[in-house]
């Protein structure tokens, strides 16, 4: 019930959305102390049994479904040797994966939560990888600073998608890529397409990955439930289950019923300004 009220409030009062999501995340992070909690997405599972399995180090296997979503998004283009920005980097698992496996020259993770940034700076030590606090709608970087911007399952928290997209376009170098995935309910899905069309970036690929996300939720639900039960006191079990997208959660049911769609996108900033 609390989670449904929270979502409804965000929908009715979009100006409060960013503040409410930040407060919720800070609250949950304060209650869930496990240092191995480094991903905050719902995951991705291939549907084709013949698809080549993503090779991961043993230490990363526990996070396979989360990593597969990052691979689907950030691996959509070759970012080897490039400068990459992740907006909404959370607890840093995605930026950490990108830096180690996709071999860009640098990765900067930026997040609105100072607690998340502190966690990342305390727990990651990889050459070329850094984290800083910042606002997705007013990014603290110069124009034309990055070759690619990655944004995974974060933009639904923002108060203005148009402002965010304008910032992405500003910090991208000419020809740079915006690699993006997120969910929207049906009412806001059409709005997202309009916002992307207004961004003055070229849409290269749009993919509906709702079924892939549902399959990841199904395959990883029991493991997540066990981790939550081990780490969270009883009064907070249901909020954590909702946040994690366990089978039966509001977000799981919305995706399964077709009321929520999860999409990924590749957009490109024009090589030349008009």
**pLDDT (mean) for 66-78:** 98
pLDDT by residue (tens digit) across 131-155?
999 999 999 999 999 999 999 999 9
Is there a domain that residue 10 lies in? no
The three-class DSSP label of residue 224 is helix
Instruction: Indicate the length of the chain as a whole number.
Output: 274
Per-residue pLDDT, 7: 44
Residue 136 contacts residue 158 (beta carbons within 8 Å): yes
pLDDT of residue 202: 97
CATH code, domain with 112? 3.40.50.150
Chain mean pLDDT for the chain: 88
Given this model, what pLDDT does residue 21 score? Answer: 52
For the chain, the first-to-last Cα distance in angstroms comes to 49
For the chain, give the longest Cα–Cα distance.
57
Per-residue confidence at 16, pLDDT binned at 50, 70, 90?
A: very low
pLDDT of residue 58 exceeding 90, the answer is: yes
Which residue's structure tokens are 């830096």?
99
37 part of a folded domain:
yes
User: What is this structure's pTM?
Assistant: 0.89
Cα dihedral 254, 258, 259, 262, rounded to 10, equals 80
Q: d(Cα 243, Cα 251) in Å, to the nearest integer?
A: 9
User: Which residues have a Cβ under 8 Å from the Cβ of 199 and sit 6 or more positions away?
Assistant: 162, 165, 166, 168, 169, 267
Checking if the pLDDT of 62 tops 60, the result is yes
Residue 17 lies in a domain: no
Q: Are strands 129-133 and 202-208 parallel, antiparallel or unpaired?
A: unpaired
The answer to whether position 202 is within a domain reads yes
Residue 17 has pLDDT above 60, yes or no: no
String of b and e for 134-143 (b: at least 16 CB within 10 Å)? bbbbebebee
Q: How far apart are alpha carbons 108 and 78 in whole angstroms?
A: 17
- Of residues 163 and 250, more confidently modeled: 163
- What angle is formed at CA 227 by the lines to CA 45 and CA 248, rounded to 5 degrees? 60
Q: What is the 3-state secondary structure (H, E, C) of 116-184?
A: HHHHHHHHCCCCCEEEEECECCECCCCCCCEEEEEEECCHHHCCCHHHHHHHHHHHEEEEEEEEEEEEE
More confident residue, 171 or 244: 171
Residue 13 lies in a domain: no
Dihedral of alpha carbons 187, 259, 247, 109, sign: negative
In a domain, 199, yes or no: yes
pLDDT of residue 70: 98
Instruction: Determine the Cα–Cα distance for residues 89 and 249; give it in Å rounded to an integer.
Output: 24
Domain that holds residue 188: 25-268
User: Does residue 144 sit within a domain?
Assistant: yes
77 in a structural domain = yes
The total of structural domains in the chain comes to 1
Q: What is the pLDDT of residues 94-123, one digit of tens each?
A: 999 999 999 999 999 999 988 889 999 999
Please give the Cα distance from 165 to 173 (Å, whole number): 14
pLDDT higher than threshold 70 for residue 20: no
């Amino acid at each position: 019930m609390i989670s449904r009220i929270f979502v409804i409030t965000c929908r009715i009062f979009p100006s409060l959305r960013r503040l409410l999501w930040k407060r919720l995340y800070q609250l949950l992070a304060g209650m869930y102390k496990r240092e191995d909690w480094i991903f905050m997405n719902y995951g991705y599972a291939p549907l084709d049994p013949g698809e080549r399995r993503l090779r991961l180090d043993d230490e990363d296997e526990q996070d396979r479904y989360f990593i597969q979503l990052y691979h689907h998004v950030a691996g959509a283009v070759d970012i080897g040797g490039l400068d990459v920005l992740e907006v909404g980097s959370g607890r840093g698992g995605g930026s950490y994966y990108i830096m180690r496996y996709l071999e860009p020259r640098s990765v900067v993770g930026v997040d609105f939560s100072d607690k998340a940034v502190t966690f990342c700076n305390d727990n990651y030590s990889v050459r070329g990888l850094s984290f800083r606090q910042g606002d997705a709608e007013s990014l603290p970087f110069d124009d034309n600073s990055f070759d690619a911007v990655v944004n995974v399952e974060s933009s639904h928290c923002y108060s203005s998608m148009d402002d965010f997209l304008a910032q992405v376009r500003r910090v991208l170098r000419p020809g740079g890529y915006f690699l993006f995935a997120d969910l929207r309910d049906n009412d806001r899905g059409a709005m997202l397409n309009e916002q992307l069309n207004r961004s003055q970036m070229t849409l290269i690929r749009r993919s509906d990955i709702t079924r892939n996300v549902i399959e990841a939720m199904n395959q990883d639900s029991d493991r997540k439930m066990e981790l939550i039960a081990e780490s969270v006191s009883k009064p907070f079990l249901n909020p954590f289950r909702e946040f994690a997208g366990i089978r039966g959660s509001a977000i799981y049911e919305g995706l399964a019923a077709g009321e929520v769609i999860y999409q990924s996108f590749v957009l490109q900033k024009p090589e030349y300004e008009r």
